[in-house]
Structure 1
């Protein structure tokens, strides 16, 4: 009897161990470290995939934004879009600011870039459109003199809900530390459809809000027929920004959470806990 019980317990442990291994996180590298395959480029005033001034390029295994071929920035805001559509996910970017700002770049754009999530596709942007309709996770570098948080929120063509109230202002500061100089910073965004978005800076949660939706201003040159005020953004593109200051990205990766949702959950907080505990198979759906 003892022998049978021991064998049964061993079998249960083997099954449990096998399940745990199969449910490991499966991160996908969006940037392969070699080239820009799988990405689309849209720079204001230029056609899709016209990489004006070789703005977006790969150097030393990093995706970089450079302005050495610019005489005048001329508000040529640019974005590089991963060719995909996502709804529930965690995206991680490791970035740093370097060098000097492009000639005639706006003062507010000094050491300024962003991760755009739940955005419109690159193919639907107007030739003279400045920013995609999206949620912008604003990335900022410090000047060594005063606090300047990163992983903030800006809202080109969008609004969000915070603490149950619709917010229509353009930008919101996070609670992050200031990161001066050329140090690498890890920015992570948790996106759960049109329900919940959280920002993390170097592993610390620094901002949270709900119900990302179209509305407001702060975007120009877009097709007005695509702007539907109040439409919830439950899926969309992911892109990285060129706003006039050189920036480098050494990692861009995603953990697809689609398919992990507990259909019986009344809110997405339980969904997030479930995912953290590996209660579903990551990256499979």
Structure 2
């Protein structure tokens, strides 16, 4: 009973924090928020590239590049796509955080990429370390905030969905093994407009996807399991393992896409009010970060 009550209390605290984060309550104006610029606007030196068929660190054909204060995903150096799925990982893993970024689709989709990749990209989180991925592994074991735009057929195509390469999640109280779950967002056209996206990750607890200020999807308990990831090191895929931390990565699947204003608010830190490092918005304590 003690353990159950503790979990209930932590869950309530997480929900309370989420209400504050999502509502932009007025009392947040008095709190110093230490947002981190994951992208410095100049280069990708703080990021790690991993592209299928290439070793970790090989930014094949300058796929990922920093220009005009934008991280650009481009394929002008490719002779053929050849399933060279790629990801750009921030160098440091996180557990509890609020991630903000903007994205837009641009340019011509590579017609030699799989059809589902048209106007399709994503941001992976709770990902395995890219340095644990064999050369021929396609996607990292991770959870994806999938980013889509409407196709010419005019059918609904929401963005901010959840996809799960080598993982599962708990959705509406039950383990859900579908590879992708659609969000409630509207369909956005690919007209070069920037879309604002947010991801609030509370360890292995509540996960929230936000598009242009609207909460569009929530779920919990990300964990290793399922398919849609290939040629991985078996030591990295122990099904049933709960994912409460990992790397954040921007995706490359054959569609040119831009990312900018990639910022993170760490929600894990010193919870000792006597410390200068204390912040009232922390939800996960870490005594090692107290000054």
SS of corresponding position for 1:207: strand
Tell me if structure 1 keeps the 8 A contact 2:268–2:282: no
* Count of paired positions: 252
2:201 equivalent among 191, 195, 199: 191
Task: Output the CA distance in 2 between the equivalents of 1:280 and 1:213.
Answer: 26
Tell me if structure 2 keeps the 8 A contact 1:256–1:282: no
Deviation, 1:24, is 1.7
TM superposition score normalised by structure 2 = 0.82
Deviation, 1:136, is 0.4
- Would the alpha carbon gap of residues 22 and 123 (structure 1) be closer, same or farther in structure 2, given more than 3 Å must change? farther
Q: Which has the larger radius of gyration?
A: 1
Q: Is structure 2 residue 150 aligned with structure 1 residue 149?
A: no
Task: Output the CA distance in 2 between the equivalents of 1:147 and 1:165.
Answer: 26
Tell me if structure 1 keeps the 8 A contact 2:271–2:282: no
Task: Give the aligned partner of residue 15 of structure 2.
Answer: none
- Would the alpha carbon gap of residues 209 and 21 (structure 1) be closer, same or farther in structure 2, given more than 3 Å must change? closer
Task: Output the CA distance in 2 between the equivalents of 1:24 and 1:97.
Answer: 33
Task: Output the CA distance in 1 between the equivalents of 2:110 and 2:48.
Answer: 22
- Would the alpha carbon gap of residues 206 and 21 (structure 1) be closer, same or farther in structure 2, given more than 3 Å must change? closer
Which stretch of structure 1 is more off in the superposition, 186-195 or 137-146?
137-146
Task: Output the CA distance in 1 between the equivalents of 2:240 and 2:49.
Answer: 28
Task: Output the CA distance in 1 between the equivalents of 2:270 and 2:218.
Answer: 21
Task: Output the CA distance in 1 between the equivalents of 2:214 and 2:282.
Answer: 25
Deviations 1:20-58 (CA, angstroms, capped at 9, x unpaired): 887321111000110111100000000111111110001
Equivalent residues in 2 for 1:201-212 (5 A)? 201-212=211-222
Task: Give the aligned partner of residue 127 of structure 1.
Answer: 135
Structure 2 regions of 5+ residues with no counterpart? 1-26, 273-278
Which stretch of structure 1 is more off in the superposition, 70-79 or 20-29?
20-29
1:56 equivalent among 60, 64, 83: 64
- C-alpha RMSD of matched pairs (Å): 2.2
Equivalent residues in 2 for 1:236-255 (5 A)? 236-255=246-265
Task: Output the CA distance in 2 between the equivalents of 1:86 and 1:279.
Answer: 19
Structure 1 regions of 5+ residues with no counterpart? 1-18, 263-277
TM superposition score normalised by structure 1 = 0.84
Tell me if structure 2 keeps the 8 A contact 1:89–1:254: yes
Task: Give the aligned partner of residue 45 of structure 1.
Answer: 53
Deviation, 1:281, is 5.9
Deviation, 1:282, is 9.1
Task: Give the aligned partner of residue 29 of structure 1.
Answer: 37
Task: Give the aligned partner of residue 110 of structure 1.
Answer: 118
